[in-house]
Amino acid sequence: MNRPSRPDSYLRRLARAPAVRALLIQCGAAPLTLAILYVMASFRFDVDGRSLVLVQGLLAAGLSWKLGLAVWWRAIQLLFPAALLAALALQLPPWLFLAAFLILLGLYWSTFRTQVPYYPSRPAVWDAVRQVLPPPAAGQPLRVIDIGSGLGGLVLYLARQRPDAECCGIELAPLPWLASRLRAALAGGRARFTLGDYERLDFAQYELVFAYLSPAAMDGLWRKAAAEMRPGAMLISYEFAIHARAPDQTIHATEGGAALYIWYF
């Protein structure tokens, strides 16, 4: 069941997104940059495009540090004005920027808000998940969901290996979701894929929830899982742990590879 979300709640989450805050910082730094350059020019300092880029980048990086953005955002803020100036200097046709924007939008969609980029898992991970699935039970199919399912590799694999299970994935970005739907149609199996936000799902519907997200999403994922998942269900996170509770089991799909963290409810 998908649950409706309040618009004001969405706007609050959007405003807290680091990418939105970074954009607002760049906008806020612009008038300060112009004021500094005006003062420099009044004292007969040479002011040119390089001065503009340097001052804007330093101000934006400094504000990002002051407001608590992650280290990598400070580097992005510092380099963004120079990258923008370089792109303008290349004099590329406008349609090229539009095409690149649309492709990236379809691939990453609201990564700026969720902070969950596209992370593909590998076949060894899929098989490790298969091995920890409970055996078939009479009368009630095993319901498995991959939240942030990307191109659908895990769901398609489990649907082949466990035809008794209901395997589905949910993906927020349109292009990976479309690719997974096409792969499922060509495979002809029972795998299902939904375009949407896993935060609007009810985890109580599933016996296993698999996540390969990012460190930024783990606290929210745990709050949701703890509130909704039923006794006997499992939450599996690949690579990223949850600080609020130690995993009940940790396994490795490959020697020296990232861990699969498992919590039982």
Work out the number of other CB atoms within 10 angstroms of the CB of residue 159. 22
Q: Which residue has the higher pLDDT, 73 or 232?
A: 232
- Quick check: 103 pLDDT over 80? no
pLDDT in tens, 120-139: 678 999 999 999 998 877 67
CA–CA separation, 74 and 62 (whole Å): 7
pLDDT in tens, 30-83: 999 999 988 888 888 888 888 888 999 999 999 989 888 777 788 888 988 888
CATH 3.40.50.150 is the classification of domain 123-264: yes
How do beta strands 259-264 and 249-252 pair? antiparallel
Q: What angle separates helix 94-108 from helix 174-187, to the nearest 10 degrees?
A: 60
List the Cα angle 104/109/113 in 5-degree steps.
125
CA–CA separation, 196 and 162 (whole Å): 25
Banded model confidence at residue 112, pLDDT cuts 50, 70, 90: very low
Q: What pLDDT score was predicted for residue 9? A: 55
Give the burial class of 156: count Cβ atoms within 10 A of its Cβ; 0-12 exposed, 13-18 middle, 19 or more buried: buried
The residues spanned by each domain of the chain are 7-91, 123-264
- DSSP-H helix ranges across the chain: 7-16, 18-42, 49-66, 71-90, 94-108, 111-114, 123-132, 153-161, 174-187, 218-228
> Average pLDDT for residues 238-255, to the nearest whole number?
92
CA–CA separation, 160 and 264 (whole Å): 25
pLDDT in tens, 134-165: 887 767 889 999 998 989 999 999 999 999 99
Q: What pLDDT score was predicted for residue 107? A: 61
Query: Average model confidence (pLDDT) for the chain?
Result: 84
CA–CA separation, 125 and 153 (whole Å): 10
